[in-house]
Structure 1
Amino acid sequence: MNIGFIGSGHVGQALASLFAQAGHSIVLSNRHGVTNLQDVIARLGNSNIKAGTIEDAAAQEIVVLAFPFNTLSQVQPELLEGKLVIDATNYFPKRDGDLPKFIDHKIATSQYVANYFTGSRVVKAFNSFGVVDLPQLSALPAAKKIALPIAGAANDKTIVKNLIIAIGFVPYDAGELKDSFKIQADSNIFGFEGTRPELIAKLKG
């Protein structure tokens, strides 16, 4: 598949690398422009990964949001109209500001993202722990594969589940976006790396 990334920091680079290794074509972008990405592309060293503008990334089949939550408004909503969007962002009050609607769980952060990108199909994924260990964790044997929670509409989650499996992880269906509080950055599973049974037990704890 053709996958675009808006955001090319640690999250974007780690996921782009894994997707490219699985045979997908990647367009990495950020708000600083294509020239800024040349060193990143060279370091990743995979011909399936190319630099592009945000518009280039938005033109791909799937678009991954991998930028700080507080920069959401810098991406025009109509840019992702009709797209399958993977929301890998996290809201952190210290970085993004004290916003009661998120702190008090009046709305799930990914539901807010979906409401912002009206007309897009948003799936929450790849946000439950840091990306530093992703390459090593993706190579674990079947019995020890790490579970990654996802939330969103059923048909859209199927596509993302297949991506998760392709890069060496196990998907865990956490329901709809509106109920995705339990897999946010302020939940008890944030930072947790475990198998599917271990993740289920953690969610019940």
Structure 2
Amino acid sequence: MKIAVLGAGHVGPVIARLALAAGYEVGIAGSGDPARIEMIVDFLAPGAKAQRTADAVADADLVVLAIPWHRVPSLEPKTFDGKVVIDSMNHWPPAAAPLGTSEEVAQRLAGARVVKSLNHVAYQDMEPANGRAVGFAGNDPDALDAVAEFLQRIGFDPVPMGALTAGRLLEPGSPLFGVAAHRHEFETFLKEQS
């Protein structure tokens, strides 16, 4: 399984390292020429391949969006058709938007199978994953299975949150955001919300 990580800032290289350690082939794309991020990739995620966004996504079975939120409009929707896409982004500053980021991503990348996850864990707390519970939410059962397998393989304990709209429960302002919660805390919180 090949993983494309879009974003070479704080979060992207950490996810790339976890994926590489789990035996995945990983491509990383920044916002421009891959040559601009080659040194960063070589240093922060040795073994990953710096690529253009279109090439990284085309080669991937699973795509992780770890770009700044304001760059989402620059994504070419057709590039993502049929792809399983993990949205690990947040509104910064937190927005009182009617939709969560993943719902907006799903509208923009209409052909993608979007799953919300990894956005509620600070990059410095991601590694080692050590079985830390992470929520994931989405509408496509096959995409959810693929993401759960990926999360588990890179060291997390994936906790299903429900449909994509439940991804809002993982965003800034939620009691689960930025907290090292255990599976039972996720499950208790979900029961309280229903």
* 1:26 counterpart SS class: strand
Deviation at 1:201, TM superposition (A): 3.4
Normalised by the length of structure 2, the TM-score is 0.91
> Structure 1 pair 112/32, CA: closer, same or farther in 2 (3 Å)?
same
Query: Which deviations, in whole Å up to 9, do the C-alpha atoms of 1:88-138 show, x marking residues without a partner?
Result: 1111237xxxxxxx515x2222111101101110011111120112113x2
1:54 matched residue in structure 2? 53
Whether 1:117 and 2:103 are equivalent positions in the alignment is no
Alignment partners' CA distance in 2, 1:82 and 1:45: 27
Normalised by the length of structure 1, the TM-score is 0.86
Alignment partners' CA distance in 1, 2:36 and 2:57: 18
Larger radius of gyration between Structure 1 and Structure 2: 1
* Structure 1: 5+ residue stretches without partners: 95-101
Alignment partners' CA distance in 2, 1:166 and 1:179: 23
Consecutive aligned runs of 4 or more in structure 1 exceeding 2 Å deviation: 44-47, 198-205
Indicate the percent of aligned positions where both proteins have the same amino acid.
30
Deviation at 1:56, TM superposition (A): 1.2
Q: Is the 8 A contact 2:69 2:91 kept in 1?
A: yes
Query: Which deviations, in whole Å up to 9, do the C-alpha atoms of 1:3-55 show, x marking residues without a partner?
Result: 111111111000000001100000000113211112122213533x1111111
* 2:187 counterpart SS class: helix
Q: Is the 8 A contact 1:4 1:56 kept in 2?
A: no
> Structure 1 pair 135/180, CA: closer, same or farther in 2 (3 Å)?
closer
* Structure 2: 5+ residue stretches without partners: none
Alignment partners' CA distance in 2, 1:186 and 1:45: 31
Spell out the pairing of 1:25-174 with structure 2 (5 A cutoff): 25-44=25-44, 46-47=46-47, 49-59=48-58, 60-93=60-93, 103-104=96-97, 106-136=98-128, 138=129, 140=130, 145-152=131-138, 153-174=140-161
Whether 1:181 and 2:186 are equivalent positions in the alignment is no
Alignment partners' CA distance in 1, 2:30 and 2:38: 12
Whether 1:196 and 2:189 are equivalent positions in the alignment is no
